[in-house]
Amino acid sequence: MNIPDIQSPSVASSFDVQRIRASFPNLHREVHGNPLVYLDNAATAQKPQLVIDRLNRYYSRENSNVHRGVHTLSQEATDAYEGARERIRAFINASSNHEVIYTRGTTEAINLVASTFGRKHLSAGDEILISTMEHHSNIVPWQMLCEEKGATLRVIPISKAGEIEYDAFLSMLSERTKIVAICHISNTLGTINPLDRMIADAHRYGATVVVDGAQAVPHMRVDVQALDVDFYCFSSHKMFGPTGIGILYGKESLLEAMPPYQGGGDMIDTVSFEKTTYNTLPHKFEAGTPHIAGGIGLGAAVEYMESIGLETIAEYERDLLAYGTEQLRSIEGVRIIGTASQKASVLSFLIGDIHPYDTGTILDRLGIAVRTGHHCTQPLMDHWGLPGTARASLAFYNTREDIDALVAGIRKVKTFFE
């Protein structure tokens, strides 16, 4: 009897990547006469037409200031802007809109927490834990805070593969630990950190956990309630939305108890020269006219990602990353930096002794966009004694053909420099 070759319904069959690619106009341009192969998604992602159109519609048809006017345009702009906030709330499963604060991006979100929560709760002798793999934006704000308060910044070590040394992390936790600031996914290594465990362990010592989620949100379902995370920060532009806008999620009880960040319009309740009282959440942290179009555009990006499905995205990218890893490993002399067992999106690599700048320059001539350098993780590069790496980072619109082009490009780079 013939047994039919039955395959389980895979993502590959339900996910039409060519249809997806058709929605991203910038993917179809040429660079130096070659079709663009865009592999710099960890730096910023391309924008689908739906997001571009939404920005266009806002400026053409709805432009008006929010939260102020009684007139129709202002009402419409406010509805759109606050509607986007609701969509983002649902996207990360926050329990209330009050917990979703618009910021300029991940960097500002982390700075906001350091400047308000950090200043209020940190004293001399306290400790903040970060990891070796943090982006500068999750190092410097804490360094500044520690200098101001006489607190200590301690760095959780990582293994050769680029994973948190978990026993070391546990041994560093104590009653002195006030804040644990950690990335969900490393922008340089692609490591997915074990947030569930880390947050639970940090909470046992009463520490507050701040997560840099910039690299996670574009690639996987993030549920802030399931994680029980205290603060979670991310950027719109890495998740197919406009630049200049991002989100700080914070637990309502924590946000309520925090002083405001910046003073100005929109964040106030009443103002007199003697005393100002502050607006309620989330507006308490949103001084001045916000990036209205950005918020609305981010809402559209979230809608777009949800229409594909975060689980579908994660599964497709997992397959693509596995293919990319296997292909890069097959090239003699290529070393992948960051080999954690749980990874997403990122392929950081070195080719023999070839400088990443040289690699990136030749790949660019071939139309292949990768990032080269230290990826704003200088301490991590110093830790391993590397001048930097070349980094290919994937999104759901990338294909196996993109990986093949990268592999051909790397072979070309080798002929130049070896």
> Which residues of this chain interact with other proteins, rule CB under 8 A?
32, 354-358, 361-362, 365, 372-374, 387-388, 416-417
Place of tokens 């680029």: 162
Which residue, 357 or 384, has its beta carbon nearer to other proteins?
357
Q: How far apart are CA 124 and CA 141, in angstroms?
A: 16
Least gap, CB of 416 to other proteins (angstroms): 7
Q: How far apart are CA 22 and CA 213, in angstroms?
A: 28
For residue 183, indicate whether it is catalytic: no
Least gap, CB of 415 to other proteins (angstroms): 9
282 upstream amide cis, omega within 30 of 0: yes
Least gap, CB of 364 to other proteins (angstroms): 9
Which residue, 333 or 387, has its beta carbon nearer to other proteins?
387
Least gap, CB of 229 to other proteins (angstroms): 33
Please report, for residues 32, 36, 346, the alpha-carbon distance to residue 367 in angstroms, rounded to integers and kept in the order given.
Answer: 6, 5, 19
Least gap, CB of 349 to other proteins (angstroms): 15
Beta-strand relationship, 177-183 and 246-250: unpaired
Which among 222, 215, 219, 281 is positioned nearest to 250, based on CA atoms? 281
Handedness of CA 52, 58, 63, 67 (dihedral sign): negative
> Which residues are registered as beta bridge partners of 336?
349
One-character DSSP codes across 240-266:
TS-SS-EEEEE-HHHHHHSPPSS-SSS
Contact of 138 with 185, CB cutoff 8 Å = no
Which residue, 165 or 364, has its beta carbon nearer to other proteins?
364
Which of 146, 183, 233, 376 does the annotation list as catalytic?
Answer: 376
Q: How far apart are CA 344 and CA 322, in angstroms?
A: 10
Which residue, 251 or 374, has its beta carbon nearer to other proteins?
374
Handedness of CA 84, 93, 141, 132 (dihedral sign): negative
> Which residues are registered as beta bridge partners of 172?
none
Which residue, 203 or 412, has its beta carbon nearer to other proteins?
412
Least gap, CB of 243 to other proteins (angstroms): 16
Which residue, 122 or 362, has its beta carbon nearer to other proteins?
362
User: 336 — phi, psi (to 5°)?
Assistant: -85, 130
Which residues carry out catalysis? 376
